[in-house]
Chain A
């Protein structure tokens, strides 16, 4: 059975189902991370002025995080290029940029892994203080989102790209939707980076 407006846009809304679905999902994600940022604020206010000391003690690696920010921004660019290549009907270029996006996600996670292990080596664990606790909780949840986005993109770049030959528009739309998610994950990091490393 065909579900209407899976691929073609609804004449009144001008959108297909997937586009509305992904935006709704992203609003719920905003609430998820919003609650965690609210937690951050509450913990910081309630820290009796100890926050700066806890942050200094954690010795977060600002150069590595800056590098990671650059990597993620680059991945957003390749994500858009992947989608644009599909719009132009260039399957090869799409795959190139698609894998580049997944690769950037991978680099981000590897750098994050080195950051985490450096913390553990200095016996900085989530249980050490509330700054590290919320740091690990939020960056960890963000890393899970990166993994999710990578899996999503890897599927459409790899096995899912067979759809190119039967329903190109559908594949293009799906890549656009996974791109929206990927940009959102980027955006979360754009907030996390100054909040934890710079402020």
Chain B
């Protein structure tokens, strides 16, 4: 495809006369859309982090005025700068929602998936470029709705990111805006998922068989299936909760519900448990949506920087697919204390134990891939290596929560918060940072600064653990996750409540540790060291395209002749053989 042949003159015009708006704002180029997603995701990650830093003030110093910004928050949120519990709830609910649906998913799936996957497949673009654009703008609208809900008279949604009914049905805050925002976000994910799967099935370059796909592509495909099949039930649930709020129906409201000492005037007959089932039917697969792309990124970076093929590529792929299937039948392990019955609990704790097996296989394979490699400790590799033990801690602390007997005392404590933050914060986020450092040269044509990268990694590793490890200790002492004052008013929390200050200071230091990244990111766009097509000496196909790649991606025909990770092949004159290298005969 040296010079793309145009079918009609109309196409020619489209190709050359792109206005600024068509090229950068309403672009149909998967790479521009990927960058749009990534930047949106990073911005929302930062915003969600800011919400948390404000919350952490009240946890560490309950009842004291918030410094600097306390007076800006307004009398209905923080009178005299002292945070009201209602406002704390808003921050908590929106932190979760934003981090999951507007931070990690757009960056991991929308950003990396969009930018990298077509390049790795050797495709010129996504299968449906216009749907791709619409998908991003749906996400944008959802983000705007969520952000704007803070300025509603009664504030943003404050019923937890899980929005449990019946509280969420009758709360006066911005739950309605939350639901409308979610419907936009769900639509965005659905369109994206259809696009990803079709692209992977149809647009692989000649010779790119399924078992030659880079592991990252496999992760994106399984993720897309999870989004495709798990999100619609939440959309249904969202519509029903919206009806409960605006049409006074009683889908999730039981009969005779007493609110504020009075029986609620509703027909009743609904089931609060139904919401939990519908919600977790999405939200458990969603956990895998957060972690699988991260595993994909880590696998790419580890293979590249250990200069070795991935150990057990096939078993990793099969584990991934098995993980995807299983993730649909574990959801009720979030509901052990709802009284759904011990038969249900037995079933779901069994499936939960089973699903840990493929995760362990993948993690073990990644560890073994390091064995005997001549490892390059560059910034992407540091983050990838950081991911392994951090995700390990997150995964293993999840096992007690998957057994109903052990879950009952631990449910809704800080132990749960510690567990899943180890998975998604030093786990997924580290993998995403690895991805940013790793593919930055492909996006901009320049590498990010190595020294600032190290200055970003080491403090982040320390402070991440400073924030999340004490949560485990607090949780084992029984401190509930829902306390705006960090448990100071409860006796049993007395001895561990002091840890809150350490965690809060760690969180703020973690923010400082991100400054090198922000400087590095913007500085390297213009002043970074120039990178050629393949700065990391990598095998996969995306590195055969120019950096930055033009609309249409490749300036040569891609014919794949070998597997994705042919590093250090004996007898080869260099230590990597690109996937599209002609087979030597």
Q: Which residues of A contact B277 (CB under 8 A)?
A: 42
**Which residues of B in the span 363-390 have a Cβ within 8 Å of any Cβ on A?**
none
Are B281's CB and A47's CB within 8 A? no
Determine whether A46 belongs to the interface, using a CB cutoff of 8 Å to chain B: yes
Determine whether B267 belongs to the interface, using a CB cutoff of 8 Å to chain A: yes
Q: How far is B203's CA from A42's CA once the two chains are assembled, in angstroms?
A: 42
Taking CB as reference atom, which chain B residue is nearest A166? Answer: B8
Q: How far is B94's CA from A135's CA once the two chains are assembled, in angstroms?
A: 32
Q: How far is B198's CA from A195's CA once the two chains are assembled, in angstroms?
A: 34
Contacts A1-B4, A43-B251: A17 and B236 contacting too (C-beta < 8 A)?
A: no
Are B202's CB and A4's CB within 8 A? yes
Determine whether A24 belongs to the interface, using a CB cutoff of 8 Å to chain B: yes
Determine whether A62 belongs to the interface, using a CB cutoff of 8 Å to chain B: no
Determine whether B319 belongs to the interface, using a CB cutoff of 8 Å to chain A: no
Are A20's CB and B202's CB within 8 A? yes
Contacts A20-B198, A27-B229, A141-B239: A129 and B270 contacting too (C-beta < 8 A)?
A: no
Are B201's CB and A137's CB within 8 A? no
Q: How far is B281's CA from A121's CA once the two chains are assembled, in angstroms?
A: 38
Q: Which residues of B contact A20 (CB under 8 A)?
A: 127, 197-198, 201-202
**Which residues of B in the span 182-207 have a Cβ within 8 Å of any Cβ on A?**
190, 193-195, 197-198, 201-203
Q: Which residues of B contact A129 (CB under 8 A)?
A: 250, 267, 269
**Which residues of A in the span 7-28 have a Cβ within 8 Å of any Cβ on B?**
10, 13, 15-17, 20-21, 24-25, 27-28
Contacts A24-B193, A24-B198, A35-B236: A134 and B251 contacting too (C-beta < 8 A)?
A: yes
Q: How far is B406's CA from A109's CA once the two chains are assembled, in angstroms?
A: 53
One of B77-85, B241-249, B415-423 contacting the partner: B241-249
Q: How far is B11's CA from A27's CA once the two chains are assembled, in angstroms?
A: 33
Determine whether B233 belongs to the interface, using a CB cutoff of 8 Å to chain A: yes
Are A31's CB and B552's CB within 8 A? no
Determine whether B15 belongs to the interface, using a CB cutoff of 8 Å to chain A: yes
Taking CB as reference atom, which chain A residue is nearest B266? Answer: A127
Q: How far is B236's CA from A1's CA once the two chains are assembled, in angstroms?
A: 37
Q: Which residues of A contact B485 (CB under 8 A)?
A: none
* Distance (whole angstroms) from the CB of A114 to the closest CB of chain B: 20
Are A46's CB and B267's CB within 8 A? no
Q: How far is B8's CA from A1's CA once the two chains are assembled, in angstroms?
A: 10
Determine whether A169 belongs to the interface, using a CB cutoff of 8 Å to chain B: no
**Which of B190, B202, B249, B271: most chain A Cβ within 10 A?**
B202
Q: Per-residue 0/1 for A89-111: is the Cβ within 8 Å of any B Cβ (1 yes, 0 no)?
A: 00000000000000000000000
* Distance (whole angstroms) from the CB of A167 to the closest CB of chain B: 9
Contact of B4 among A2, A24, A136, A141 (CB under 8 A): A2
Determine whether A199 belongs to the interface, using a CB cutoff of 8 Å to chain B: no
Instruction: Report how many residues on chain B are interfacial, defined by Cβ distance under 8 Å.
Output: 52
Are B552's CB and A1's CB within 8 A? yes
Are A32's CB and B128's CB within 8 A? no
* Distance (whole angstroms) from the CB of B560 to the closest CB of chain A: 14
* Distance (whole angstroms) from the CB of A35 to the closest CB of chain B: 4
Are A21's CB and B129's CB within 8 A? no
Taking CB as reference atom, which chain B residue is nearest A36? Answer: B236
Q: Which residues of B contact A166 (CB under 8 A)?
A: 8
Q: How far is B233's CA from A33's CA once the two chains are assembled, in angstroms?
A: 8
Q: Per-residue 0/1 for B3-41: is the Cβ within 8 Å of any A Cβ (1 yes, 0 no)?
A: 011111001000100000000000000000000000000
Q: How far is B341's CA from A71's CA once the two chains are assembled, in angstroms?
A: 45
Are B232's CB and A29's CB within 8 A? yes
The A interface is mostly helix, strand or loop, or mixed, namely helix
Contacts A20-B202, A35-B237, A130-B270: A28 and B231 contacting too (C-beta < 8 A)?
A: yes
Are B249's CB and A127's CB within 8 A? yes
Taking CB as reference atom, which chain A residue is nearest B28? Answer: A1
Contact of B281 among A5, A13, A35 (CB under 8 A): A35
Determine whether B235 belongs to the interface, using a CB cutoff of 8 Å to chain A: yes
**Which of B7, B125, B232: most chain A Cβ within 10 A?**
B232
Q: How many pairs of A and B residues are in contact by the CB < 8 Å rule? A: 144
Contacts A39-B278, A130-B267, A133-B249: A2 and B233 contacting too (C-beta < 8 A)?
A: no
Are B203's CB and A50's CB within 8 A? no
Q: How far is B270's CA from A129's CA once the two chains are assembled, in angstroms?
A: 9
Determine whether B240 belongs to the interface, using a CB cutoff of 8 Å to chain A: yes
* Distance (whole angstroms) from the CB of B478 to the closest CB of chain A: 33
Q: Per-residue 0/1 for B531-558: is the Cβ within 8 Å of any A Cβ (1 yes, 0 no)?
A: 0000000000000000000011000000
* Distance (whole angstroms) from the CB of A137 to the closest CB of chain B: 6
Are B232's CB and A127's CB within 8 A? no
Q: How far is B270's CA from A50's CA once the two chains are assembled, in angstroms?
A: 12
Determine whether B228 belongs to the interface, using a CB cutoff of 8 Å to chain A: yes
Q: Which residues of B contact A136 (CB under 8 A)?
A: 243, 247
**Which of A2, A13, A15: most chain B Cβ within 10 A?**
A2
Q: How far is B128's CA from A45's CA once the two chains are assembled, in angstroms?
A: 43
* Distance (whole angstroms) from the CB of A46 to the closest CB of chain B: 5
Determine whether B160 belongs to the interface, using a CB cutoff of 8 Å to chain A: no
Taking CB as reference atom, which chain A residue is nearest B129? Answer: A3
Are B270's CB and A27's CB within 8 A? no
Contact of B7 among A2, A5, A46, A128 (CB under 8 A): A2
Q: Per-residue 0/1 for B264-281: is the Cβ within 8 Å of any A Cβ (1 yes, 0 no)?
A: 001101110010011001
* Distance (whole angstroms) from the CB of B255 to the closest CB of chain A: 9
Contacts A5-B202, A42-B274, A126-B243: A133 and B250 contacting too (C-beta < 8 A)?
A: yes
Q: How far is B190's CA from A28's CA once the two chains are assembled, in angstroms?
A: 8
* Distance (whole angstroms) from the CB of A43 to the closest CB of chain B: 7
Determine whether B392 belongs to the interface, using a CB cutoff of 8 Å to chain A: no
Determine whether A34 belongs to the interface, using a CB cutoff of 8 Å to chain B: yes
**Which of A50, A129, A130: most chain B Cβ within 10 A?**
A130
Are B267's CB and A3's CB within 8 A? no
Taking CB as reference atom, which chain B residue is nearest A9? Answer: B202
Contacts A35-B236, A35-B278, A133-B243: A43 and B269 contacting too (C-beta < 8 A)?
A: yes
Q: Which residues of B contact A25 (CB under 8 A)?
A: 190, 194
Query: A13-B202, A130-B250 are known contacts; what are 18 more A-B pairs with Cβ within 8 Å?
Result: A2-B6, A2-B7, A3-B127, A3-B128, A3-B129, A16-B202, A17-B203, A20-B198, A25-B194, A28-B194, A32-B233, A34-B233, A46-B271, A47-B269, A130-B267, A133-B247, A136-B243, A137-B251
In the complex, 9 of the A-B residue pairs with CB atoms within 8 angstroms, ordered by the A residue number, are A4-B202, A20-B127, A24-B193, A24-B194, A24-B198, A31-B232, A127-B247, A130-B270, A133-B250
User: Which residues of B does A touch, CB under 8 Å?
Assistant: 4-8, 11, 15, 123-129, 131, 190, 193-195, 197-198, 201-203, 228-233, 235-237, 239-240, 243, 247-251, 266-267, 269-271, 274, 277-278, 281, 551-552
User: Which residues of A does B touch, CB under 8 Å?
Assistant: 1-5, 10, 13, 15-17, 20-21, 24-25, 27-29, 31-36, 38-39, 42-43, 46-47, 50, 125-130, 133-134, 136-137, 141, 166
